[in-house]
Each structure stands twice: as C-alpha cells, then as structure tokens.
Amino acid sequence: MLAATGLTKRYRSGGAMLTVLDGLNMELRRGETLAIVGESGAGKSTLLHLLGGLDEPSEGTVRCLGADLYAMNESDRARHRNRTMGFVWQQHALLPEFSAEENAAMPLLVAGAGRAEALARSRARLSDVGLSARASHRPGELSGGEQQRVSLARALVAGPLILLADEPTGNLDPATAAGVMDLIFELHGEHGLTSVIVTHNLEFAERCHRVLKLEAGSADERAGSSPAAGPGGFR
C-alpha cells in the first residue's frame, strides 16, 4: 500500500542543514496498523506528511499503490491523495461556518461531486461515528470529542484505502481520547483500511500491528500487541 525507499528530509536551520529523516526504507501492507512514536522533533509528523504526499523529500521515493508520489506534478498528486487517502489531524480544522455534515462532505465537494451525493455520503459517515443526531450542528456547538469524530467522518467520506492520523487524540482528555481511538480501530476494520497513526500515547501504539520509533533521524521497529497482519518490516 505504501513504500518508502531512501527517504530523507533535510531542513536549513540557521546556517546549517538539519537532517530529520535519513535514508528510511519501509513497506506497509494492506490492512496493517502502524504506530509512529518518538520524542518531539524526531520527525514523526514529517514522515506522515511525506507518506501522504504533502511535502517534498530531499531524497528518496514514496510509492502509494505502486504510483511514485513525487514523480507526479502537484495537481496529479493532489488527485491521487484525494482518491486514496484520508487524514485526521490533532487540530480538527473544521470550518466554523459550515455544519458537521457539510464539513464532512468537503473532500467530495472539492473533488467535484454533486452536493446531494456528497451530503448523503457525509451523513453515512457521520452515522458511522455516532453523530447522526448532530449532523446539522456547527463546530462551535459540538464538544471537542464530537469535533474530532466529524474530522474522522471527513477523512473517510471519499472511501480512502489509507488513513493517516497525526496525534488524533492529542487535544482530548483521557476518557474522550480513549473513545476516539477505539473508534479509529473499529473503523479501520469496518472500512478495510491501512492505517498510520502518529501518537505519543504508548498504550494506543501497542494496539497497532507494528510500532515504529523515530530517534535522531533513524527508525527502530517492533511488533505491537495486535496479531501481525503480514510481513513487511522496516530496514
């Protein structure tokens, strides 16, 4: 589903170059859940952005369903991303002037789907996350946990094969965070997803098939507590 080869990312910091990722090789198989953990600044979000085609690597390649993301121009990469990937962020990034169902429908509307179709699919995904009764509410009328569930519905509305989540529970209290993470794992199975989750919560990470720890630009991998979904491994 996703494969990175020689993935390297450098940033200029002052007068020096800072290497965040250094030659990372990885493969992610269909149906797997991968947790990415590590200290702040270790490159977790950078790796997620590169896997999602949201940033340019300094060196190396990322292939999604066999297609080289960074051999595409920006428009083709955006279309590929819209068809194959769903994203959940620590900040829910909902548009305050729109209802929950309109927010969840945005990826379809951006892709050119008709409004009626987009809203129908949005309502189905809001039902999946337990928010049918809140579909007409705007973000300011929803709790933090409800807002994050709307963002999860938005991530799934276009029927992606891959879910990329960057600290999806980072702004939630422990009880609400546990509920949102339970929902992510439940929907992972129901929608046949392949999921990558950046998290500081080691308990959540252990529920994944595999755990990748980033440290000083390098990666160390081990199995989580879920039964392995198949081989693949990082090198």
Considering all CA atoms of the chain, what is the largest pairwise distance in Å, rounded to the nearest integer?
A: 54
Which pLDDT score, from 0 to 100, does residue 92 have? 86
Query: In angstroms, rounded to a whole number, what is the distance separating the alpha carbons of residues 36 and 172?
Result: 19
Average pLDDT over residues 101-111: 94
pLDDT category at 234 given cuts 50, 70, 90 is very low
Closest CA to 51 of 19, 3, 83, 84: 3
Tokens coding 13: 């910091």
Residues 6+ apart with CB under 8 A from 143: 176
Question: At the topology level of CATH, where does 31-54+85-223 sit?
Answer: Rossmann fold (3.40.50)
Please identify which residue in the block is written with the tokens 């030659």: 23
Tokens coding 32: 């797997």
pLDDT above 80: residue 223: no
**Residue % of the chain over a pLDDT of 70:** 91
pLDDT above 80: residue 222: no
- Mean pLDDT, the chain, integer: 90
User: What one-character DSSP code corresponds to residue 203?
Assistant: H
Average pLDDT over residues 134-148: 95
The domain spans of the chain are: 31-54+85-223
pLDDT above 80: residue 235: no
Q: Would you say the C-alpha torsion 144, 150, 154, 160 has a positive or negative sign? A: positive
Average pLDDT over residues 206-224: 79
Tokens coding 103: 């927010």
Which pLDDT score, from 0 to 100, does residue 68 have? 96
Which pLDDT score, from 0 to 100, does residue 231 have? 35
pLDDT category at 90 given cuts 50, 70, 90 is confident
Tokens coding 83: 């068809």
Which pLDDT score, from 0 to 100, does residue 40 have? 82
Instruction: Please tell me whether residue 169 adopts helix, strand or coil conformation.
Output: coil
User: What distances in angstroms separate CA 28 from CA 106, 139, 166, 180, 234, one per listed residue?
Assistant: 28, 34, 17, 23, 9
